[in-house]
Chains A and B, each alone.
Chain A
Amino acid sequence: MLDVWIDSIISGILLGLVYGLAAIGLSLIWGVMKVINLSHGAFIALGMFTAYFLFAFGLNPYLGVPIIFALGIILGIAVYFVALHRIIDAPELSTLLSTFSISLFIIGLGTFVWTTIPYAIDIHVGSISIGNITILGTKVIAGIVSIILTILLYIFLYRTKTGKAVRAVSMNRVAAELMGINTTRILALSFGIGIALAMTAGALIATIFPFTILSGGVYELKSFVICVLGGLGSPIGALVGGLILGIIENVITLQIPTGLVPFIEFTILVAVLLIKPSGLLGGEV
């Protein structure tokens, strides 16, 4: 019995790291741009398909991560200039709807091209066994890649000049502009990084679970719950939120039907929003 628990907790932590990665993207976009990115799920799904096709062409999905990340940055910057730049100062409704329309576009096109039949990446990297506990290798690698990317993001945000500019814009855009920072570039770049994180998380999830073009929605909603848990706009909070959610998800399904998990997740979401909207670890980028 204890083995089952330990197994669930380890799985939860590893998956939680990946969920956290997607949520960091959402959180970064919110923190810097004050935009709730409703196309996050669509880009997660796009990441899944990118990994699938790279794998089909013979590229290991883990080695493909830099390619997917770069593609994400390019797509994100493009989307910023097409859909967000004009309305970045408009009321929230505009940005909510414009990111949502991007999501409709991607999902509509994806459904047309790939239908909604499940796809899966058939990759085997063995598994790690300790006593009676067996952890799939794909989960372990996904967790490690997530940690590496999170560390790299932190180095970028705290050690590079551009990263510091990103943080400055998230604190006060007008002041940053007055200090000579090209805020348009920073906003576009932040959206690009956010999307890149979403797509990479999607690629990693695709190595573990089967997926369809609609799968992104589930992970987008998880990202919301995670961001709210950790405080919108706080990347480290998103990581911790991801761990909490991953563990809860894997441990409670030992006791209750899987179908009720969303109910519990969203009850937590609404409860946290009401009690402490700044999140359990509320803070700034």
Chain B
Amino acid sequence: MKSLSWLIGLLIVIGAIPMITHDVTLRETVFIILMYIALAESLNIILGYTGYVSFGHIVFYGIGGYVAFLMIQNYGLNIIPAMILAGLFSALVAYCLGLAILRLRGAYFAIATIGVNEAVKALITNLEQVGGAEGIYFNIKVYSAYGGAEHAIWLSYYLMLAVTIAVVIVSWFVKKSKFGLGLMAIREDEDAAITLGVNTSKYKTLAYALSALFPGMIGAIFFFKNGNIEPESAFHLTKSIEMIFMVMLGGFGTVTGPMIGAIVYERIRGFLIVSEMFKALHIAISGIILLLIVLFMPRGIIGFVRDKIPALRRFVE
């Protein structure tokens, strides 16, 4: 429990700072950090625990965003039920999809997930009912139900904090459970796991659905706050890669890793974009960093720390 309690403590401290200082710029930064943490932790369930490389995971974020956006815009639903519906819908899509594509292993699965993301993006881009390529904008009246845009933004912030805490708790309990052990058995050797009586297809599908639930909710919050949604930003393949980057940087298969990875990544990215010298080159530099991690630190920052300082192992899960 120690490893979980300090993580939650850290999240609450990070989350509380903008609330106390009422610093708007800081709130935006923390909002993005929280979103990255939640996305990376979600992906970690399928990528880190189960060992299935979901390259197009952002599709669930986009689907969640669209579901919530349409619900709020067309039926005047409140963001909280809309967010929950969006998450459940994403999880349901992942469950049905998983029944099919999780039969594929390794690289085939990775390609299929890219395919799913691109197919959904192309479909939405061509559906005029959901705004097509231009996307949809909120009617400004939407926010009046929450006491104006300013209140709506703060509400989004609280919701993002709540979802992020929920994701971390869920990933910690999954890792400690029999379910989590089953997932890790699949990662290590799927055939052996089957032989030992793990119901692998059920486990994989559930893990995939769980890893899609939170991105759906995060997409709902993000696009509610954003005020508009378009296919290009909702299904951006680069965001999928960013999620993988964060998980790898922090250490895949751990609970602390994706969180650390997300914070470090956001800082690196912020630094590169702001710095005059690196602004234009930030993609190239991210590439070099990613390559260095893959080649020399395959288990990420947390794996590295755990190897070098055994005393910390009890605290970093």
Contact = CB atoms under 8 A, between A and B. Distances in A.
Summarize B's interface: helix, strand, loop or mixed: helix
Interface stretch (B105-113, B152-160, B196-204, B262-270): B105-113
A273 interface: yes
Interface bin, chain A: 35 or more
Contact of B125 (A96, A100, A259): A259
A277 B100 CA distance: 12
Contacts of A34: 107
Contacts of B65: none
A267 B252 CA distance: 30
A1 interface: no
B53 A92 contact: yes
B291 A269 contact: no
Contact of B53 (A30, A96, A270): A96
Contact of B122 (A36, A102, A259): A259
B111 A228 contact: yes
Interface stretch (A106-114, A154-162, A245-253): A106-114
Interface in A2-58: 30, 34, 36
A97 B118 CA distance: 19
Contacts of A108: 281-287
B311 to A, nearest CB: 29
Given A101-B288, A267-B119, A277 B108 contact: yes
Interface in B113-142: 114-116, 118-119, 121-123, 125-126, 133
A94 B298 contact: yes
A278 to B, nearest CB: 10
Interface string A85-109: 0110011111011101111111111
Interface string B267-303: 0000000000000111111111111001100100000
Interface string A102-129: 1111111101100000000000000000
Contact of B287 (A91, A104, A232): A104
A83 B295 contact: yes
Given A97-B290, A105-B284, A224-B111, A90 B298 contact: yes
A6 B108 CA distance: 35
B241 interface: yes
A260 B126 contact: yes
Nearest first, the 7 closest Cβ-Cβ pairs linking A and B are A108-B284, A104-B287, A108-B283, A105-B287, A266-B119, A263-B122, A262-B122
12 contacts: A97-B294, A98-B294, A100-B290, A101-B290, A101-B294, A104-B286, A105-B287, A106-B284, A108-B284, A257-B126, A262-B119, A269-B111
Interface of A: 30, 34, 36, 82-83, 86-87, 90-94, 96-98, 100-109, 111-112, 221, 224-225, 228, 232, 257, 259-263, 266-267, 269-270, 273-274, 277
